[in-house]
Amino acid sequence: MGFTLDGIDHIVLNCRDAERTISWYQRVLGMAREEFGPERRTALRFGDQKFNVRPTGAPGWNPAAVDAPSVVPLEQQTPSSPKELAQLLRGCGWSEAPPPRAEGTEEYSGAGGTRTRDQGIMSPQL
């Protein structure tokens, strides 16, 4: 017998360099930085979503079996066109910004229902 999830509480971003990672998510995705808990850990927020930032090798965390930096493929929702998004990413100094796709070229089933995929962002390993 299985169980039912109500949602995802948070995602943990494992990284080599917490400050570079935090800076990237703030600058490129506009996430807000916050500190939490008695250890003053760092999280990034947008809306009700929370990404905890964990440097690999950090004590006091419960890491996965492999304690390594991770890449998080993100499918964002934005009113910006794919071309505008690519320009914004490059303007933030991200040389690996993906090339823009033609609008309306692909549909996918996301958390909010069926959507047209504008452009995915693959976060860098920082």
Q: List, for residues 50-97, the tens digit of each pLDDT value.
A: 888 988 888 887 777 777 787 665 666 666 776 777 777 777 776 655
Q: Do residues 83 and 64 touch, judged by C-beta distance below 8 A? A: no
- Helix ranges (DSSP H) in 30-98: 82-91
pLDDT, residue 112, reads 61
pLDDT, residue 102, reads 47
The pair of structure tokens assigned to 73 is 């493929």
Range of the domain at 122: 73-126
Both 100 and 64 in one domain: the answer is: no
Q: Average pLDDT of 2-31? A: 85
Domain boundary (24, 54, 70) is at 70
Both 123 and 91 in one domain: the answer is: yes
The domain tally of the chain equals 2
Q: Would the pLDDT of 37 be above 80?
A: yes
Both 45 and 95 in one domain: the answer is: no
Q: Do residues 73 and 113 touch, judged by C-beta distance below 8 A? A: no
The pair of structure tokens assigned to 105 is 């070229």
Name the residue with higher pLDDT: 35 or 92.
35
CATH of the domain at 19: 3.10.180.10
Both 4 and 58 in one domain: the answer is: yes
- Helix ranges (DSSP H) in 9-119: 18-29, 82-91
The pair of structure tokens assigned to 82 is 């794919």
- Residue identified by tokens 């929702």 is 77
Both 95 and 121 in one domain: the answer is: yes
